[in-house]
């Protein structure tokens, strides 16, 4: 009987544990694309990756970098005059003509919403003077963002055997773009019209290619905020999309999807990410994250220089470790608000760092007159040295008085002798 009861209890225990694990964490849905990454847009942490660092031809997702450089280098109301090359370009375009004038903003709408290759080329020439020079700028900016496997040769993504990037690198570009409100505004625009120009006398209609935005499609995702599609025969299908729920924001980048399955798969992948991960704050800017006791016993509050966020695995009870580097603070004096050291935050393979500010002044102990002559290595007053200095000063005063008395007596004696000599 006892054995039977033990077996029954064991069965229920195993069942309960299995049930808990199944709902605490779930595997990501299957993705058709050969290269995939899911990134927390707030922290840059990768929560899922498949060949995410393997280079592939990116097609029009290349335009993420073109849009980023345009936002960083141009005013929206700048006028772009189309040169001879952009109208000759192949692929998707709005059919600009040589000498046509459009604002940077209008061209951004065209590039983001309908993937206009001609506008991407026109923006590249406007910024750098030529496609070749703009490609150099693209690669330089990619390195600054931390991209390690990217080489761009054009601003639009038409196939070139040297034109490559990765799902991870594209996610980094999208992460930076999400800091630009104009990018999100344009990316969320479902349809609009471009006004007539000096050459094209009718309004041009624009319809956003990102189906996640349109409720007429089954793949409609209400939390989607941005997306960029891409396709060439050689590159196959590519897609980069972002979605936001509350404080949580994720980026999905997919390369070399042969079946264009990303519209069916991306919403499921977003749901998985939002369910299993969340952005948490380790500490806030200005928050006291610790204290430092100086050698003389003073307590210095240590303040965070910025918010530090990390990506929490919702199935884990693990807490981030916070380590303040206090080794560099010894024998150091500082002012309130001054950066004095660093803090490292580590969680589940993620690492973040920030400067640490002093919450109060810490100055060298200095007494009037004697200055720092009696300050010890511990930044305290050495009363032994102080008494020695005071004793020396007192002794010096006494000797000075005695010397003065001696001189006065000697002068008086000399005067008496002089008078005696005159009398004789």
Taking only the tens place, the pLDDT of each residue in 98-116 is 999 999 999 999 999 999 9
Domain-terminating residue out of 243, 278, 313: 278
pLDDT at 344 over 90: yes
pLDDT at 148 over 80: yes
Q: Domain containing 235 — which CATH number? A: 3.40.710.10
Q: Residue 21: inside a domain, yes or no?
A: no
Which residues, 6+ apart, have CB-to-CB distance to 53 below 8 Å?
148, 149, 166, 168
Tell me which residue range forms the domain holding 130: 26-278
- C-alpha distances (whole Å) from 396 to each of 263, 288, 371, 388 are 93, 51, 19, 12
Which residues, 6+ apart, have CB-to-CB distance to 245 below 8 Å?
223, 274
Taking only the tens place, the pLDDT of each residue in 61-96 is 999 999 999 999 999 999 999 999 999 999 999 999
Q: Are residues 223 and 371 in the same domain?
A: no
At 295 the pLDDT is: 73
Provide the mean pLDDT of the chain: 87
At 256, is the secondary structure helix, strand, or coil? strand
Q: Are residues 187 and 123 in the same domain?
A: yes
At 78, is the secondary structure helix, strand, or coil? coil
Q: Are residues 83 and 49 in the same domain?
A: yes
How far apart are the C-alpha atoms of 373 and 194, rounded to whole Å? Answer: 76
At 15 the pLDDT is: 36
Domain-terminating residue out of 306, 336, 358: 358
At 45 the pLDDT is: 96
How far apart are the C-alpha atoms of 237 and 16, rounded to whole Å? Answer: 43
For residues 417 and 206, the model is more confident at: 206
* Mean pLDDT score, 284-302: 87
Name the token pair of 347: 């969680």
Query: Does the active-site annotation cover 63?
Result: yes
Whether 381 and 325 have beta carbons less than 8 Å apart is answered as: no
Q: Residue 1: inside a domain, yes or no?
A: no
Q: Are residues 204 and 311 in the same domain?
A: no
Q: Residue 90: inside a domain, yes or no?
A: yes
- Taking the CB of residue 101, how many other CB atoms lie within 10 A of it? 13
Identified catalytic residue from 115, 235, 278, 354: 115
Q: Are residues 48 and 111 in the same domain?
A: yes
Query: Does the active-site annotation cover 238?
Result: no
Q: Are residues 242 and 309 in the same domain?
A: no
At 362 the pLDDT is: 79
* Mean pLDDT score, 245-256: 97
Identified catalytic residue from 60, 110, 242, 354: 60
Q: Are residues 250 and 350 in the same domain?
A: no
Please enumerate, by residue number, every residue annotated as part of a binding site: 228
Max CA distance (Å), the chain: 143
Name the token pair of 148: 């390690």
Q: Which of 14-18, 242-246, 252-256, 360-364 has the lowest mean pLDDT?
A: 14-18
Name the token pair of 230: 């891409």
- Taking the CB of residue 265, how many other CB atoms lie within 10 A of it? 22
Query: Does the active-site annotation cover 235?
Result: no
At 399 the pLDDT is: 76
Q: In degrees rounded to 5, what are phi and psi of residue 419? A: -65, -40
pLDDT at 8 over 50: no
Please enumerate, by residue number, every residue annotated as part of a binding site for substrate: 228
Q: Residue 17: inside a domain, yes or no?
A: no
Q: Residue 69: inside a domain, yes or no?
A: yes
How far apart are the C-alpha atoms of 246 and 226, rounded to whole Å? Answer: 16
Q: Are residues 157 and 239 in the same domain?
A: yes
Whether 227 and 213 have beta carbons less than 8 Å apart is answered as: yes
At 392 the pLDDT is: 59
Domain-terminating residue out of 278, 312, 336: 278
Q: Are residues 107 and 190 in the same domain?
A: yes
Q: In degrees rounded to 5, what are phi and psi of residue 68? A: -60, -50
Whether 349 and 343 have beta carbons less than 8 Å apart is answered as: no
Q: Are residues 166 and 195 in the same domain?
A: yes
* Mean pLDDT score, 416-424: 57
Cα–chain center distance at 204: 37
At 385 the pLDDT is: 55
- Taking the CB of residue 280, how many other CB atoms lie within 10 A of it? 18
How far apart are the C-alpha atoms of 159 and 163, rounded to whole Å? Answer: 7
Counted domains in the chain: 3
Q: Residue 261: inside a domain, yes or no?
A: yes
Q: Are residues 189 and 83 in the same domain?
A: yes
pLDDT at 17 over 60: no
Q: At what angle do helices 104-114 and 63-73 cross, to 10 degrees?
A: 160
Whether 251 and 273 have beta carbons less than 8 Å apart is answered as: no
Structure pTM? 0.80
At 5 the pLDDT is: 42
pLDDT at 9 over 50: no
Q: Which of 126-130, 377-381, 418-422 has the lowest mean pLDDT?
A: 377-381
Q: Residue 423: inside a domain, yes or no?
A: no
At 266 the pLDDT is: 97
Q: Are residues 244 and 185 in the same domain?
A: yes
**Nearest Cα residue to 47 out of 249, 353, 226, 311:** 311
> Percentage of the chain surpassing pLDDT 90?
71
DSSP per-residue codes, 289-347: EEEEE-TTS-EEEEEESS-EEEEEETT-----EEEE--GGGTT--B-TT-EEEEEEEEE
pLDDT at 2 over 60: no
Instruction: Say which residue the tokens 């928050």 belong to.
Output: 287
- Taking the CB of residue 30, how many other CB atoms lie within 10 A of it? 10
* Per-residue pLDDT band at 405 (split at 50, 70, 90): confident
Taking only the tens place, the pLDDT of each residue in 160-204 is 999 999 999 999 999 999 999 999 999 999 999 999 999 999 999
Identified catalytic residue from 35, 63, 128, 175: 63
How far apart are the C-alpha atoms of 424 and 409, rounded to whole Å? Answer: 23
* Per-residue pLDDT band at 328 (split at 50, 70, 90): confident
Q: Residue 5: inside a domain, yes or no?
A: no
């Amino acid at each position: 009987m006892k054995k039977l009861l033990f077996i029954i209890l064991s069965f229920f225990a195993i069942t309960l544990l299995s049930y808990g694990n199944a709902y605490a964490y779930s595997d990501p849905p299957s993705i058709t694309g050969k290269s995939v990454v899911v990134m927390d847009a707030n922290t840059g942490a990768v929560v899922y990756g498949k060949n995410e660092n393997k280079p592939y031809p990116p097609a029009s997702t290349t335009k993420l970098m073109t849009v980023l450089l345009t936002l960083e280098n141009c005013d929206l109301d700048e006028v772009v005059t189309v040169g001879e090359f952009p109208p000759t370009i192949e692929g998707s375009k709005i059919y600009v003509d040589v000498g046509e004038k459009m604002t940077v903003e209008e061209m951004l709408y065209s590039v983001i919403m309908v993937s206009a290759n001609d506008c991407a080329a026109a923006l590249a020439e406007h910024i750098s003077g030529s496609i070749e020079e703009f490609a150099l700028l693209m690669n330089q900016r990619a390195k600054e963002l931390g991209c390690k496997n990217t080489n761009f040769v054009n601003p639009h993504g038409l196939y070139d055997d040297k034109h490559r990037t990765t799902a991870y690198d594209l996610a980094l570009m999208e992460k930076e773009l999400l800091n630009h409100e104009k990018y999100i505004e344009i990316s969320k625009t479902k349809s609009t019209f471009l006004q007539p120009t000096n050459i094209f006398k009718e309004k041009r209609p624009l319809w956003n290619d990102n189906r996640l935005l349109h409720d007429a499609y089954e793949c409609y995702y209400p939390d989607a905020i941005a997306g960029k599609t891409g396709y060439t025969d050689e590159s196959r299908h590519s897609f980069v999309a972002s979605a936001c729920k509350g404080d949580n924001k994720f980026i999905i980048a997919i390369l070399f999807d042969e079946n264009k399955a990303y519209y069916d798969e991306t919403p499921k992948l977003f749901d998985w990410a939002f369910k299993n991960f969340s952005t948490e704050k380790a500490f806030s800017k200005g928050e006291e994250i610790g204290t430092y006791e100086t050698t003389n016993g003073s307590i210095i509050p240590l303040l965070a220089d910025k918010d530090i966020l990390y990506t929490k695995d919702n199935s884990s009870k693990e807490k981030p470790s916070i380590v303040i580097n206090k080794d560099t603070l010894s024998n150091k004096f500082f002012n309130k608000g001054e950066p004095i050291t660093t803090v490292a935050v580590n969680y589940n393979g993620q690492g973040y760092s920030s400067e640490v500010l002093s919450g109060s002044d810490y100055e060298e102990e200095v007494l009037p007159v004697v200055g720092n002559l009696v300050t010890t290595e511990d930044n305290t007053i050495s009363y032994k040295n102080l008494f020695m200095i005071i004793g020396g000063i007192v002794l010096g005063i006494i000797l000075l008085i005695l010397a003065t008395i001696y001189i006065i007596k000697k002068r008086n004696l000399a005067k008496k002798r002089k008078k005696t000599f005159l009398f004789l």
